[in-house]
Amino acid sequence: MRPNSYIAVLKEYPVVSHKAWEYADKSDILKLDWNEAEIDLPPPIKDALIRYLEEGKASWYPDVANKELLCALASYAGVSDTHVQYFEGSDCALDYAVRTFVEQGDTVVLASPTYDNVRVYIESTGARPFLASTEDPFAADPGALLARVPRDTRMLYLANPNNPTGTTYSRDQIAEILTSLPDTVVIVDEAYAEFAGSSITDLVDRFPNVIVSRSFSKAFGLAAFRIGYLVSTPENLRHINKIRNGKNISAIAQVAALAALRNREYMEAYVREVRKARAFLCTKLARLGIESRDTPGNFILIAVPDGPGLRAALADQNIFIRSLDHLPGMDAYLRITVGTMSSSARVASAIEAIMTDGAYGSRAPKTGAV
Ligand SMILES: Cc1ncc(COP(=O)(O)O)c(C=O)c1O
C-alpha cells in the first residue's frame, strides 16, 4: 500500500549499532553508542516499582494526569505545575510539539549538525527541515545562527548541550535568540542538562515562544522506561495536550520517574562520576596521540584516520560506540558515551591495545587529529 506522500520520501532516522541486544549474556557489554547511562537503579526506585506491582493494579490504564508527578517535575524544573507535562520519552514530546505547531510547507530550522530524530518528525508533517550549520559547529554563536534562520521560520530546534557537538548556548545567548525570533517556536532540547549543570526552564515565564524538552533517559538512567517532559507556557501545553495520549505513558515509567525525582542523590553522584570519567578518558586518549573533544554531556568525540576500523575493532571486544557519518560534516568523528570510571578505563585500554596492534597501528593517528 502507498504511504502518505511525506512518508513515502522520508529518509528514516538511522537506527544503527543497537547490536548489544543480540547478545543473550549482556554482562560483558559496554553499550556506549546511544548515550544511555550505566546505572543499576538504586533501591528506592526498585522498591517503588515492586510496591506498584504488589498493589495489583497493572490491569488499570496509567494515570493520565499524575498530579504527584507533575508537582515533582515542576519543583525539579523550578516552574509551576501548570508549566509541565510528561510524555513517553522526550522523543515523543518533540514529535507532539512538532505536530502541534508545524504544518505542511513550514520551514523548521535545526541548529546543525544535531540529533537527527527530530528531522523525521518534521518531514512527516510535510514541513521543510533546514539544517542551519554555522562555520564552526563547536562554537555557540547566536549571531551566526540567527543569520542562518530564514524569515518566517515556524520552528527552531536547538539541542543544548547539543548532541553530538556538545555546543552549549548560555542563558543570555538563548534569551537573545528568543527575543530575536518572537514569532518562532523555539524548542530547546535539554536531554543532557543534568550533566551540563544548567537549564533555561525558568525562561518559560518570560518567553511564550520557548518549549524546553527534558529526559529521564540520560542522567537518571531510565531509558528503558521511556519518559520525558516538556516545560512551556500553559497555553502551549494546552495545545500539545490536545494530541497527547496520556494512556501511553506507562504506569511503571511514572512510578520510576517519581521515585527518581524523590531520590536524586544517585543521579547527582552519577553526574559527578561521568564528569570525572570524561576527563580521565580524554587525558588517556591524548597520551595515545588521539585528540578528543570533551563535551558537557555524557559523551566525547574522537577523530581517528580509520574510524570504521576502530569501531569494528572495539565491537569485537563487545564495546559499541557510534559513528556520526549520517550527519553532514561529522563523518570524521566517532562518539563515545561516557559512563563510569571503570568502563572508561576498559575503553582506554581497549583503544590502546588496538592502536598498538600491527593491523591498526600502521594507520595510527598523529597528535591533533581533531
Ligand atoms: C538531544 C537528544 N534529545 C532527545 C533524545 C531522546 O531522549 P528520550 O530517551 O527521552 O526520548 C536524545 C537521545 O539520544 C538526544 O540525544
166 lines ligand 1 (CB under 6 A): no
**pLDDT given for residue 329 in this prediction:** 85
Amino acid making up residue 259: A
114 lines ligand 1 (CB under 6 A): no
220 lines ligand 1 (CB under 6 A): no
Q: Cα–Cα distance between 351 and 336 in angstroms, integer?
A: 12
33 lines ligand 1 (CB under 6 A): no
- Among 95, 190, 215, 326, which residue has the most ligand 1 atoms within 8 Å of its CB, making it the best to mutate? 215
115 lines ligand 1 (CB under 6 A): yes
Residue 90 Cα to ligand 1 midpoint, Å, equals 6
Across the chain, what does the average pLDDT equal? 93
What is the grid cell recorded at 172?
543570555
Digit-coded pLDDT (tens) for 247-278: 999 999 999 999 999 999 999 999 999 999 99
**pLDDT given for residue 362 in this prediction:** 47
Residue 115 Cα to ligand 1 midpoint, Å, equals 8
Please report how many Cα atoms fall inside a 13 Å half-sphere around the Cα of residue 212, on the Cβ side. Answer: 30
223 lines ligand 1 (CB under 6 A): yes
122 lines ligand 1 (CB under 6 A): no
- Among 218, 229, 248, which residue has the most ligand 1 atoms within 8 Å of its CB, making it the best to mutate? 218
- pTM confidence score: 0.94
- DSSP labels for 227-290? -EEEE--HHHHHHHHTT--GGGS-HHHHHHHHHHHHTTHHHHHHHHHHHHHHHHHHHHHHHTT-
66 lines ligand 1 (CB under 6 A): no
Confidence of residue 20 (pLDDT cuts 50, 70, 90): confident
Digit-coded pLDDT (tens) for 296-352: 999 999 999 889 999 999 999 999 999 998 888 898 899 999 999 999 999 999 999
